[in-house]
Structure 1
């Protein structure tokens, strides 16, 4: 491998990683003092980042000019966030065990809170495809204790990945064999879906892997393991426009090529929960890691259109 001097927070394990980062980049702490940060989503049209502080039941807002402020109090233990193709915020609330949309006037619309007549477990992370379909994971983290939700017995027989049809509103199970499904992200052409298996959080026998699926209409075809993590287990993840997969891990953010090779790592001093692309030019990676939010320059952009300044 080619030797290139990189700062301490960048670890290259494949020559291809050098094209994705820059030797003068800095890992900046842009916000700190939280309990557990999650669910970052960039609003390029408003030049701000929203992210969750789950146990405090707040959704926070950050921009480069004003710093941090509260976007929403009493968030219902909101976790993962994304935007739909109309620019509206979509969130997963552990406390209400639902997926909710924030309308333009600030009101909330519940999109899904039950399946087969039974309450969902605790929707965790969510993504919207170009056809308007909403895909989300439903592990039990929000009902295991009162720390990030309300302790309760699960009503669902499995820990599913769901798809909400944008036309009919029908909720369907697209994968049901996860221990704890977590972050999810599509390839740039939306022909492949990556889903994190985070069951190792409570069971050391569960492999810390990213699984991959072929997308066939509104269904999935299992293509097995995409990658395994060598530190901790995966949580949130994103895909860049070149098809590289950036995933959270115990020691930072791991970057995998579309062929599954580990290209390198962005080392972070706290356990990483999630990440997203954004910034004024779309080349900043925002990282939610335990008590803080970090930012670092990367030489790629995210696939979501709102990660750039204009959409």
Structure 2
């Protein structure tokens, strides 16, 4: 087994490949985020927030700048029509890139006040869009533009296409990554308040989901090393999350199964490749990837 894998539970051995190596695919960025894999073109997009760019990696062709003026976008996802959904720090909006290249604003305000700085986003099978709204993009000019916070708090929102954002969770310090379980009966949301307070939260919470209503919200997992910035679930509903020293994998009950150590602080990740068994990892200045024994 490679040196970059830590097994905490024997079940993790069934999820990894003993000879798979962590590979650096691109570097030279400032803070990488928001990986999103497009199966129809076999390519990956990811953000370099401070440099205001979105990068593209195509297998066999290398990497190139996809968008030179990306509004300090952070998290991305893809809807059922194959369109890119983005969280933009600079505009404080959630947007959709149409197939024509035009950009549609999906969410920009709540209760007549501008959003803080949308951070991460997922699309439910009914077409609704769920996103987190911490203040990271307005705390300084590094990842957006310094500005006063207009919202009373940092919320998790749901918005239907053509509708207005509705808060669905109000009791977070800095809500960040989010993901549905495979059957969409649960919603996982991380709180990364530790980033700006020594005693701030550094955990993932889990909610039961009934339509558009959330209940519960208990802590699913405490992150020992750093915070959980972004995460995805695999076909067995294990949750793979970024941490301060790599990627951690938890079973559906919140038991830590194992870790993949990465040389840089990891921000986010996604499954990709034709078999969805390649884990793409955005880590500070670089993009990494490793093949695993499970699909996402």
Question: Fold conserved (TM > 0.5)?
Answer: yes
Q: 1:276 aligns with which of 264, 267, 270?
A: 270
Shift in Å, 1:219: 1.4
Q: 1:298 aligns with which of 284, 288, 292?
A: 292
1:104 corresponding residue in structure 2: 99
- 1:37-93 Cα shifts (integer Å, max 9, x gaps): 000000011000000000111110001211111111110001000011111000000
Q: 2:36 aligns with which of 38, 41, 45?
A: 41
1:19 corresponding residue in structure 2: 14
1:29 corresponding residue in structure 2: 24
Pair 1:135-2:143 in alignment = no
Pair 1:227-2:221 in alignment = yes
1:308 corresponding residue in structure 2: none
1:256 corresponding residue in structure 2: 250
- 1:125-154 Cα shifts (integer Å, max 9, x gaps): 000011101000000000000000000010
Q: Is contact 2:117-2:138 (8 Å) kept?
A: yes
Instruction: Tell me the TM-score normalised to structure 1 length.
Output: 0.94
Pair 1:189-2:189 in alignment = no
2:137 and 2:201 mapped to 1: Cα distance?
21
Shift in Å, 1:280: 2.5
1:62 and 1:117 mapped to 2: Cα distance?
39
1:198 and 1:248 mapped to 2: Cα distance?
12
Instruction: Tell me the TM-score normalised to structure 2 length.
Output: 0.99
2:148 and 2:164 mapped to 1: Cα distance?
25
Q: 2:259 aligns with which of 250, 265, 290?
A: 265
1:49-64 map, 5 Å: 49-64=44-59
Structure 1: gaps of 5 or more residues: 1-5, 303-311
1:178 corresponding residue in structure 2: 172
User: What secondary structure does 1:273 align onto?
Assistant: strand
1:114 and 1:222 mapped to 2: Cα distance?
26
Q: 2:203 aligns with which of 187, 209, 224?
A: 209
1:207 and 1:198 mapped to 2: Cα distance?
6
Shift in Å, 1:230: 1.1
1:156 and 1:170 mapped to 2: Cα distance?
15
User: What secondary structure does 1:8 align onto?
Assistant: coil
- 1:146-172 Cα shifts (integer Å, max 9, x gaps): 000000010000100000024x61321
1:283 and 1:260 mapped to 2: Cα distance?
22
Q: Is contact 2:83-2:99 (8 Å) kept?
A: yes
1:24 and 1:41 mapped to 2: Cα distance?
25
Q: Which runs of 4+ in 1 moved over 3 A?
A: none
1:307 corresponding residue in structure 2: none
Structure 2: gaps of 5 or more residues: none
Q: Is contact 2:173-2:201 (8 Å) kept?
A: no
